[in-house]
Structure 1
Amino acid sequence: MEYEYIEETIINKDFSNQSLSRHIYEYCTFKNCDFSNADLSECKFIETEFIGCNFSNANIAQASFQDVKCTQCKMLGLLFDKCNAFSFTIHFDQCQLNHSSFYQMKLNRSSFLNSQLESVDFTEADLKKVVLRQCNLLNATFDNTNLENADFTQSTHYAIDPETNKVKGARFSLPEVVGLLNKYNIKIK
């Protein structure tokens, strides 16, 4: 059953372990809501903002995220690669996205700022021109990933192989840029 919400503000609501499947939210704002382990499959979030929300382990299969903003959200273990790819655009700021997957996703309209991206899978994703600024990318996977003109300024702990990823025009900061040389096991002083 579909429910549609337009221009609503929802504060401190606990949706954990609930089914919100096929709900539509347009121009809504969620503050301090808990979506952990919720079923958000086939939901549509259009120009919606999430502030301080917990999405950990939520089911987002075939969910649509179109021009969505997430600030200070906990989004652990989410399979974004199972989302509806049409107009997928999310802007993350100060979010925890550890153990999430963006496998084979086209993300060039999304951005990642000041966020934890530990053990995130970007394998075969298109991150051309994406901003990944001031992010912790410890153990993040980049394999056959398009990183052309991406901005990794002040991001840390990444290990990116320029031989298996497209990095032309990408921006990196010192001293973290040595993460491009990790596979060579060389000493830099």
Structure 2
Amino acid sequence: MSTEWGTGYEDTTAASEMETYSDWSTQSGDTPGVRPDLMQEPPQEQVDLSRLDAENEDWQYRYFKRCNFSQATLTSLRTTHCSFVECNFTAVDMHHSAHRLSSFVSCTFLGAQIAGATFDDCKLAGSAFDSAQLASVVFRGGDMTSVSFAGVDLSGKDLSDARLFSADLSQADLHGATLTGADLRQVRLERTNFEGADLRGALLDGFDATQALLTGARVDRDQCVSLAQTFGVVVV
């Protein structure tokens, strides 16, 4: 699709500040977000969309940058290949929304109501979910590089194969979570609860186990060695 607004428009999502970690790819192999030549609506920048009511709408191939969605009603909203860059979703209602191959880069979800939402192969890099309500939220894969889940309840969540490189998990509750194959390198930990979590196959470089609660957590043999070394144990 060629459009007047799409031609020559800068794709800031593709060249985002997360470009350093560009080795991540979606499970489908497709690129999340929207290319300029595929946008189905004019791009929206710095638009006040607070208190917008988009309940049960279907958004495809749309682009938003630095827009304010605070307190908007996005219940059951469906997005596909949409890009949201540095947008404000504070206190938004996104209950039961569904997002596939959409990109939320450096967005703020403080106090957002996201219960029952689904993020399928989405890019959430650099976004902050502090104090967000994530009950029954489903993350299928996805890039969560440098995401902040500080103090968030992620207990029982299936985060297998998720990229959480350099994420802030301080005081987060991940007890009983499935993190098999997840990228947990350089995550920030502070009284983070991994009790009963499945960490087998997860990448743990820079994982400071002294700042985590790991009672009952499942790890593989290779991980046992690196975790023991964190506590000064010499493995021979």
Query: Scaled by the length of structure 2, what TM-score is found?
Result: 0.70
Query: Kindly, what percent of the aligned residue pairs are identical?
Result: 18
Partner of 2:149: 102
State the Cα RMSD in Å. Answer: 2.2
The answer as to whether partners of 2:109 and 2:132 remain within 8 angstroms in 1 is: no
The answer as to whether partners of 1:98 and 1:116 remain within 8 angstroms in 2 is: yes
d(CA) in 1 for partners of 2:99, 2:229: 36
d(CA) in 2 for partners of 1:89, 1:80: 15
Partner of 1:165: 212
d(CA) in 2 for partners of 1:33, 1:179: 40
Q: Is the counterpart of residue 84 in structure 1 residue 101 in structure 2?
A: no
Unaligned runs of 5+ in 1: none
Over residues 77-97 of structure 1, what are the superposed CA-to-partner deviations in whole Å (9 max), with x where a residue is unaligned? 12211x434x54432222111
Q: Is the counterpart of residue 60 in structure 1 residue 109 in structure 2?
A: yes
Select the structure that is richer in strand: 1
d(CA) in 2 for partners of 1:92, 1:179: 27
Partner of 1:116: 163
The answer as to whether partners of 1:152 and 1:172 remain within 8 angstroms in 2 is: yes
Deviating 4+ runs (over 3 angstroms): 184-189
Q: Which has the larger radius of gyration?
A: 2
SS at match of 2:59: strand
Alignment of 1:1-189 (within 5 A): 1-81=50-130, 83-85=131-133, 88-158=135-205, 159-161=207-209, 163-184=210-231, 188=235
Partner of 2:15: none
Q: Structure 1 residues 102-111 or 122-131, which shifts more?
A: 102-111
Deviation at 1:176, TM superposition (A): 2.8
d(CA) in 2 for partners of 1:138, 1:77: 15
SS at match of 2:94: strand
SS at match of 2:74: strand
Aligned length: 186
Q: Which amino acid aligns with 2:105?
A: S
Query: Scaled by the length of structure 1, what TM-score is found?
Result: 0.86
* CA 1:178–1:49: 2 relative to 1, 3 Å: farther
Unaligned runs of 5+ in 2: 1-49
SS at match of 1:4: coil
Q: Which amino acid aligns with 1:165?
A: A
d(CA) in 2 for partners of 1:77, 1:114: 18
